[in-house]
Amino acid sequence: MQRICPDGEPVPEPAPPRGAAGAVDAAAGYDNVLLGHLWGWADRYHTGELDDGPGNGRPPVLRAESASRSLLVPSDPTKASGIMSAIPRKARHQWFRSFKSSQALTQSVFAALDCFGRLDLLEGVIAECGRPAFLEDARSASLVLEHEVRSLGEPRRTSVDVLLDAHSRRVAVECKLTERKFGVCSRPQLRPGAPSYAEQHCDGKYHVQRGRSERCALTEIGVRYWTYLPHLFDWAADGDLWPCPFSEVYQLARNALAATVSERGFDPDSGHVLVVYDARNPEFAADGVAGRQYESAISACRIPGLIRRLSWQRLVNAFTCAPELAYLLAGLEGKYGIRPE
């Protein structure tokens, strides 16, 4: 079945990437294909709305006043407004205006499900491990984009891309598009001259250092990660660990904490992390950087199913039975090249 874009025309074929030198490896090939879709979509729908940055090898970037146009929205103005307001402007990422923004993609998809009252479409979606990707009963769940975690004592709170909360179960959804890796701990990356260098620099090992009394620089300033991490992963908090196993899977482990630690307390069986990623992105394959990080976190998990994966392609397959989301399926295919699996 040929999908139709919002302007009534068929989904366009991707335009050739501007100034691309050609696919020299898997990552470059993926980037080139995606850039072709993004520029084709920009040329079709966003003439006069882009910034003046160079086009060679760069994704389209909207001007500041057109930032909301980065979202895929329906023609219904009430539904469109609901989707656009799902994330406050102040919570937008720095590169939200870029067509490669995974935040804009996330908002386009999950805010639409919420605004159309179709969270039920998430029921029955199966993660790669064979377990439910989301919730067995998602209809009663609340959905929040850019949920701030308030239970870990962080000076800069963990922000969860999407949090589904059904009171007895929580799912922390981490959404990726072109990212090459999951976030790592920043303390080993601190450089002399940074305001927190003297107090918080870490050599990448979990041991007492630089005159601190705690093995983790974050524990030293009151962050409670290591209060809960040993209950979720095979990492003992009361002994030295070289290198620190938390450092390289930092973002995944923080999402696991967000799913299991809440104002209601800590319950290691109360939630799980779901990573949603682009199946075409080679870094999420087994030999990619993100793929290796994922497997490292999985191998250390003490709770089966604590961290799960699902591709955008498999997720949007669940939307094909919802005619009200036809605009979204067309937009995902036309703009990003994401098609139902």
| Model pLDDT for residues 258-309, shown as the tens digit of each residue | 999 988 899 999 999 999 999 999 999 999 999 999 999 999 999 999 999 9
**How does DSSP assign 79-102, residue by residue?**
HHHHHHTSS-GGGS-TTTTBTT-H
Give the gyration radius of the chain's Cα atoms.
21
Closest C-alpha to 30, from 100, 95, 93: 100
d(CA 200, CA 95): 28
Report DSSP state, residue 175.
E
By percentage, how much of the chain surpasses pLDDT 90?
A: 86
Average pLDDT for the chain: 92
**How does DSSP assign 144-193, residue by residue?**
EEEEEP-SS--SS--EEEEEEE-SS-EEEEEE-SS--S----SGGG--TT
Residue ranges per structural domain of the chain = 1-101+322-341, 119-318
User: Token digits for 266?
Assistant: 């800590």
Segment 132-157 shows an average pLDDT of: 93
The per-residue pLDDT for 13 is 54
Segment 174-178 shows an average pLDDT of: 98
The per-residue pLDDT for 305 is 97
Segment 110-116 shows an average pLDDT of: 98
Q: Let me know: does 312 contact 338? Beta carbons within 8 Å.
A: yes
Q: Let me know: does 338 contact 313? Beta carbons within 8 Å.
A: yes
| Model pLDDT for residues 194-224, shown as the tens digit of each residue | 999 999 999 999 999 999 999 999 999 999 9
Q: Let me know: does 48 contact 62? Beta carbons within 8 Å.
A: no
User: Confidence class of residue 136 from pLDDT cuts 50, 70 and 90?
Assistant: confident
d(CA 62, CA 265): 42
User: Confidence class of residue 11 from pLDDT cuts 50, 70 and 90?
Assistant: low
Taking the CA of residue 76 as centre, how many other CA atoms within 13 Å lie in the half-sphere pointing to its CB? 12
The per-residue pLDDT for 20 is 39
Segment 238-251 shows an average pLDDT of: 97
Q: Could you give the residue ranges of the DSSP H alpha helices within the chain?
A: 26-45, 77-84, 102-106, 112-115, 197-200, 217-220, 225-232, 250-260, 289-300, 312-317, 326-331
The per-residue pLDDT for 7 is 55
The per-residue pLDDT for 27 is 82
Residue 17: pLDDT above 50?
no
Residue 14: pLDDT above 60?
no
Task: For residue 25, give the 3-state DSSP assignment.
Answer: coil
The per-residue pLDDT for 263 is 85
Strand-strand pairing, 170-175 and 261-262: unpaired
The per-residue pLDDT for 21 is 38
User: Token digits for 259?
Assistant: 């799913």
Segment 176-184 shows an average pLDDT of: 97
Q: pTM for this structure?
A: 0.92
Residue 16: pLDDT above 70?
no
The per-residue pLDDT for 66 is 96
Higher pLDDT, 59 or 136: 59
